[in-house]
Amino acid sequence: MTALPLVFDAPRRGMPPRHLADLTREEARAAVTELGHPPFRADQLARHYYRGVTDPADMTDVPAAARGTLAEALLPGLLTVVRHQTADNGRTRKTLWRLHDGALVESVLMRYPDRATVCISSQAGCGMACPFCATGQAGLTRNLSAAEIIGQAVAAAAAMANGELDGGPGRLSNVVFMGMGEPLANYARVRKTLDALLTPAPHGLGLSQRSVTVSTVGLVPAIRRLTEEGRNVTLAVSLHAPDDELRDTLVPINTRWKVGEVVDAADAYAKKTGRRYSVEYALIRDINDQPFRADLLGKLLAGKLAHVNLIPLNPTPGSIWDASPLPAQREFVARLRAAGVATTVRDTRGQDIDGACGQLAASEDVGVPTVALPTPQLEPTVPLGAEADE
């Protein structure tokens, strides 16, 4: 497998049309005024947008003569569904979206008995080049706009409200930035998305900070910036190795910021927010699942405000690696807990539709389905988006 270069600066491509979700409330009201309408129309548009209303004809509180003009100017269609794929008896749905320039991204909506979580993408592709991740091996196409990111969450909220997943109507409770891309490499737009997710209705989705998780492979300056800006969302660090020698290979960003620097930045975030951070660790057979590495990880995190979330590797086409066997998983968990480190095992969802962690590749060619290797479960398991509650 040929190593890909790290890419921090997204390729320059044409930006999508201006959208209400890209604007602050004041900017939206000014834009409506420029179109010759009273500023409160912007608030009406926001109310409809965040409720998932896409047809101007359904915006009955807006004069019929103004609906088309306002929707065309501020609510252009940025995300077009290419296809939905379902798994887990209808409780998981992966959506492939086509963007205005033909770029493709995926999001995954997962329903659990006590929550509904959507995993959203922040970039088309990814520039972090992790060799075991399908998205990372695809390379980076471009950053998404804030509206393109927010739109995935809005669509998921509407799908839950409309009962499109098994179990009838419900409410979107959690959002995790664990889809395609490195969120902190698209910092400004992810930050704007956080504002929209956390702002109460009708100007946002009104989620709680503890129900939103931002994942990163370890962009230390961006973690520090997030810390300084005072948000209390859950931070998830994709570590995957406790030692620099191995992590340099598995997570190439480690050649810039080493394990110790990443953990120090996460510790500073925990100290500032009082919130425990999650350490994501994909267990890969004979690569990073050895008992001595469990001991190294335990020593690294002992006494810290951290929680380890173990993820048996999800298979991807052409991968030379697979998940750790059950005995190795059990040993790894036991050693971490013996070191006093809180540890759970990720409840894998969507594996048979290539919708699990590390599998998103955004291809229009369904082709031959990836064979989903059976992953024995370890107790306790934790659903995606629930790590902060453990």
Annotated active-site residue 357? The verdict is: yes
Q: Is 261 helix (H, G, I), strand (E, B) or coil?
A: helix
> 126, 130, 133, 357: which is the annotated catalytic residue?
357
Active-site residue identified among 106, 148, 182, 387: 106
User: For residues 328 and 283, is the Cβ–Cβ distance under 8 A?
Assistant: yes
Is 130:140 a contact under the CB 8 Å cutoff?
A: no
Is 41 within 8 Å of 66 (Cβ atoms)? yes
CA distance 172 to 310: 24
Instruction: Measure the CA–CA gap between 329 and 333, rounded to whole angstroms.
Output: 6
> Are 349 and 110 within 8 A, CB to CB?
yes
Residue 16 is given by DSSP the state P
Report whether 238 contacts 216 (CB < 8 A): yes
356 CB neighbour count, 10 Å cutoff? 28
Cβ atoms 285, 328 nearer than 8 A: yes
Candidates 192, 185, 177, 180; CA nearest to 218 is 185
User: Phi and psi at residue 45, in whole multiples of 5°?
Assistant: -60, -40
Contact 125, 144 (CB under 8 A): no
CA distances from 266 to 233, 244, 298, 382 (A): 12, 17, 16, 21
Report d(CA 238, CA 158) in Å as an integer: 30
Residues 6+ apart with CB under 8 A from 287: 246, 250, 321
Distance CA(336)–CA(368), nearest Å, equals 38
Q: Which residues are catalytic?
A: 106, 357
